[in-house]
A = this chain, B = another copy of it.
Amino acid sequence: MSELRTVGLLGAGVIGGGWAARFLLAGVDVRLYDPSPAAAETALQTVERARRAWRRLTLAPLPAEGRLQLVDSVPDAVAGVDLVQESAPEREDLKRDLLAEASRAAPPEAIIATSTSGLLPSRLARGMTHPERFVVGHPFNPVYLLPLVEVCGSDQTSPETVTRAADVYRGVGMRPLIVRREIDGFIADRLLEALWREALWLVADDVATVQEVDDAIRFGAGLRWSAMGTFLTYRLAGGTAGMRHFMAQFGPALQLPWTRLTDVPELDEALLDKIVEQSDAQADGRSVADLERLRDDCLVAVLRGLAGTGFAAGEVIADTERTLYERAGDGALPPLDDGRLRLHEVLVAPAWIDYNGHMTESRYLEVLADTTDAFLRRIGILGPYIDTGRSYYTVETHIRHLGEAHAGDRLVVATRLLGHDAKRLHLFHELTRAEDAAVIATGEHMLLHVDRNEGRTVPAPDEILAVLDEIAESQRDLPWPEGAGNRVNGPRAAA
């Protein structure tokens, strides 16, 4: 929103502070009022947290931050602003008085918005001048990260105000959801409140603890909800038969005592037709197979992302990976006749092909590095040993591309231990295509044995060195491989 220069924020709690952060990071000046002196400090911490999050979220160039001004009164906060955003506690009388005062002091063309989670705008507007420019703009915590903002007018709100407010929010990176008609709780909080009420019953009835309720969400449906809402999710639960099949299959559950909230809508033909029709529109011609692939891509992205945090489902992924490494053990295939090790083979995936029509170069290193990992498993590094804080780190790699790999090729790798000492490991992998034994690439790799906790190289323990000695002995008579020990020869010689 190039037009949005200054916003006036009323309330600097969790939501008001989040708004301050979102607007400031979008380059908008903020005038912030809160009666509590501590609130401003909290808001500043929120802004700092938002900066940290956005630095990690995107590489795109963020604009110069807006200026934050802490002010002492409502009129000071709203004077000359383009948008007033009220985020006071959820008490109708309190909000009504604040909004009335703001409406008298703000420029008459300024949008006045409330962050209420579910109070009715027509009631909140009762003391306002120019109620036609009043609208709900309901965000979600943390406001600086979550895109959703519900936009809902009262019967007095002008359609232009709704459009302008949606544009303003979109301009600071949000996704406005226009609520068709005024209703308590709007859309999102009605859903949240239903789930919350059932969650309270589960705890009240001692069916589950708060931790168990949370686990029931974050290890299951919560992962799906990060990408798809409940209707699209259930469309897929119906399999290829789609939404009508799902409704037929699960509709009867509406009559079961599956929640304490039993005041259910009647699933008559009219409602069924409406849902199926809207669900078809939502799928927009995409087949269930397409949607399933999309869902899986989203889940993989979310799970992979969480794996980096080690929290929630990410902890499960991390545990699973640890187990997989342990079970793979030394994973050894019998060595080749010449004594080289067979540690890894792989099918070239279609996604690995680049604009030149063959396997893109980073995938060569992926295959080579996976082979190095298999070698490290073989000699006892990957597995419980790595939990001691010691490991081998690759410090140098030399790849020679000798042929092209295409989608569907099966690549097999033969591994030489070129040399080792107490701290060093020098490997040479030769990557050939299984069908015609053509050499596709070679990889030469130098690794150092390090102690992560000490942050330096240390000698590998005797039992590891003994395995390396044994492998070296078994490969003693092999000739030095062609291409090993070479440097990259350029058109201009090293100075």
Contacts and interface: CB of A to CB of B under 8 A. Distances in A.
A389 to B, nearest CB: 10
A355 B382 contact: yes
Interface string A341-363: 00001110111010111001111
A385 B215 CA distance: 46
Q: State how many copies of this chain the complex holds.
A: 2
Contacts of A484: 488, 494
Contact of A90 (B250, B281, B319): B250
B196 A230 contact: yes
A282 B491 contact: no
Contacts of A194: 194-195, 197-198, 259, 261
Interface stretch (A77-85, A95-103, A155-163, A323-331): A323-331
B426 A492 contact: yes
A89 interface: yes
Contacts of A250: 90
Nearest to A170: B319
Interface stretch (A107-115, A121-129, A288-296, A459-467): A288-296
Interface in A282-305: 282, 289, 292-305
Contacts of A437: none
A216 B282 contact: no
Contact of A185 (B147, B259, B294, B321): B259
A231 B199 contact: yes
Contacts of A220: 140, 146-148, 188
B487 A485 contact: yes
Contacts of A214: 228-232, 282
8 contacts: A13-B239, A140-B221, A190-B201, A197-B259, A198-B261, A226-B302, A397-B398, A485-B494
Q: Top 7 A-B pairs ranked by shortest CB distance?
A: A308-B350, A214-B229, A419-B492, A222-B225, A301-B305, A261-B261, A485-B494
